[in-house]
Amino acid sequence: MAQSFGIVEEKLREAEFFLDQLRASRRHSFNARCYFSAFVSAARSVSLALQTTMGGIDDFEPWYKDAQARLKADPLAKFFVEVRNDSIHKGLNPLNQVTLDHLREDLAGQLQSGNRPHVLVMPGLSSKGTTVLADAVEACTVYHASLVALIFDCYDRFKCVIDPRWYFTSDNFSGRGKTFEDAIAELGFPPGWAHAASNCLNDDARWRALRSLQSRCGVNDLFLKYVGRGIEDPDEDTPSRS
List, for residues 154-191, the tens digit of each pLDDT value.
999 999 999 999 999 999 999 999 999 999 999 998 98
Is 239 within the bounds of a domain? Answer: no
3-state SS assignment for residue 213:
coil
**In the chain, alpha helices (H):** 6-24, 30-54, 60-72, 75-90, 100-112, 136-157, 159-162, 164-167, 170-175, 180-186, 192-200, 203-211, 220-226
**Residue 152 sits in the same domain as residue 173:** no
Does some domain include residue 233? Answer: no
Domain encompassing residue 216: 161-226
123 within some domain: yes
The overall average pLDDT reported for the chain is 90
Q: Structurally, how many domains does the chain consist of? A: 2
* pTM of this structure: 0.89
Task: Give the distance between the most distant pair of CA atoms in the chain.
Answer: 78
Q: Which of 141, 120, 149 is nearest to 16 (CA)?
A: 141
Q: Do 104 and 74 belong to one domain?
A: yes
Chain segment 21-64, per-residue pLDDT in tens: 999 999 889 999 999 999 999 999 999 999 999 999 999 999 99
